[in-house]
A and B are shown apart, each in its own frame.
Chain A
């Protein structure tokens, strides 16, 4: 009798829960929103007392302890002892999965019928969970975050994650896995503000049997968006390895020869016509989702028409306004821009340090990107592991004292063209490898005009009164392709930076001895 009533209660509870969770237009639980794991569970998955570098915890391993094979247990113990030096997260490397889900840091979920994007505040890491029923084009290619394929089993999202490398840890205590790890994740929304998150880890080279962790993801109310936590950039700026320019945020001195900035001089050519055969979403808006490669014309090596040189490609010139194709630099800024081409300045380019490339540079670095589009947002996932949000459901930018590498972008539809306004830049970026200049006063209006089923014309009009005399506009075609993103884990294997530092330091030593 007791059993029957328990069953009945469980069934009723299920019905109640099913009614309470938000749902997408196709009837699936709507997981969208900003989330964070409940409690500081990511330091050590197993039960532990407090340590100098982590709070105590009861653990989230369902079996109580991780069923390590003997050699793997010894490895874990060694990792634990050496964790300050060895933890990949201390070096700002990619956290891997499931660790990224368990950080003391929020993330946002964007959901369509064919994919989910999970974007994390920490280091602008993202995951894509494809729910289109298709296998990965790159099965077997190792990655930090794994390849995720999901399907709905009733109201539970079930995701298989595999193709890992063996370099990430599961937590800060040195719990580990091999490249043979497979995750089976289950996301079950129990009410509008709670997702039960369960992961079974299978890795026969490391564990004697599969084991499971269970955690609770909680909705984070009251946040207009998640921010940026560029771990490596903050670390290098703090220890002096990266020196930001004096016209980055805040407040920048206005250069002595600053000329009046003539905002009214902006005169870009008319927008191209929208194509008749463009793709559309069910809501009637143009569908900009998918994998894109920019026909960048070497913009990463010069926005102006610039002949290539040794190991530098040609740049065809993408400036549409001013009409002469030249960026309207003030004299001091042009001098700085020319100086930045010299070998000893290569170290100063933030992307040489693997910091996020920023806007609009992320659109023309030599890497593809993938757009996930919902009714309320577009999220750009850049292959060089960074995401950028364009909010369609906000009208207010972040407060002026919140400055980001990529700024804060708000979009709106103007007919069938997406118009995006961005401000709140920190001004620390370079527009490309030759160092076209931005400051913290930069603001930007971008347009995305679909001209055919698979081509979008992209424009960016940049207004920046510190280095320039008037706004300028670049234009680039974006081509949709049948491909998917690979993972680019930049700083994890970045051997270039030390060479660039050697070149800079040698130059500085010569200058000092002259």
Chain B
């Protein structure tokens, strides 16, 4: 019970400081505003890392070819303070994500929104204020 209360308090603090705890390191230099992406697929791995987390996801194209995308999120410490834990996103989890592709044209993206198949949303970085407030 005590832990739950602590987590609730932490979430409240995180929301208050939401703008502050996000990292945006040079994203605008890496990613292309003119290459928005919306992808659906299955998680192959999530790295709960800092300065930014990474979701690796298999996406099946219209031609049936499977591409493994590397998708950059905000820092893991922000996700942890929001109450997310490693176990919440195991390999095989089905996700839909929105974001932007890297300037170098690789299968790499910066994602602003992550939606699980049950409708829960994992906050995932970017300057979009609305997205920042989402969990």
Contacts and interface: CB of A to CB of B under 8 A. Distances in A.
Contacts of B127: 308-313
A294 B30 CA distance: 27
Interface string A381-394: 00110000000000
B61 interface: no
B51 A311 contact: no
B50 A496 contact: no
A433 B26 contact: yes
A488 B104 contact: no
B1 interface: no
Given A346-B30, A482-B13, A500-B26, A311 B49 contact: no
A137 B10 contact: yes
A489 interface: yes
A479 B16 CA distance: 11
A54 interface: no
Interface stretch (A99-107, A217-225, A330-338, A347-355): A347-355
B9 interface: yes
A375 interface: no
Interface string B85-99: 100000000000000
Contacts of B102: 499
A61 interface: no
Interface in B36-58: 47-52, 54
B123 interface: no
Contacts of B72: 495-496
B33 to A, nearest CB: 4
Main secondary structure of the interface of B (DSSP, over half): mixed
Contacts, number: 125
Given A141-B80, A293-B17, A433-B24, A495 B70 contact: yes
A90 interface: no
B81 A346 contact: no
Interface in A173-227: none
A293 B103 contact: no
B21 interface: yes
Nearest to B48: A142
- Which has the most chain B C-beta neighbours within 10 Å: A310, A344, A499? A499
A397 to B, nearest CB: 31
- Which has the most chain B C-beta neighbours within 10 Å: A345, A352, A481, A496? A496
A343 B20 contact: no
A454 to B, nearest CB: 12
Contact of A354 (B9, B51, B54): B51
A494 interface: yes
- Which has the most chain A C-beta neighbours within 10 Å: B9, B49, B108? B49
A418 interface: no
B77 A383 contact: yes
Contacts of B69: none
A377 interface: no
Contacts of A487: 50, 77
Given A343-B28, A368-B21, 14 more contacts: A141-B80, A310-B127, A311-B28, A312-B127, A313-B19, A313-B127, A346-B29, A367-B21, A433-B24, A483-B13, A489-B50, A490-B50, A493-B49, A506-B104
16 contacts: A137-B6, A301-B24, A308-B127, A311-B27, A312-B27, A313-B19, A347-B26, A479-B17, A482-B13, A493-B49, A494-B51, A496-B51, A500-B26, A503-B29, A503-B30, A503-B103
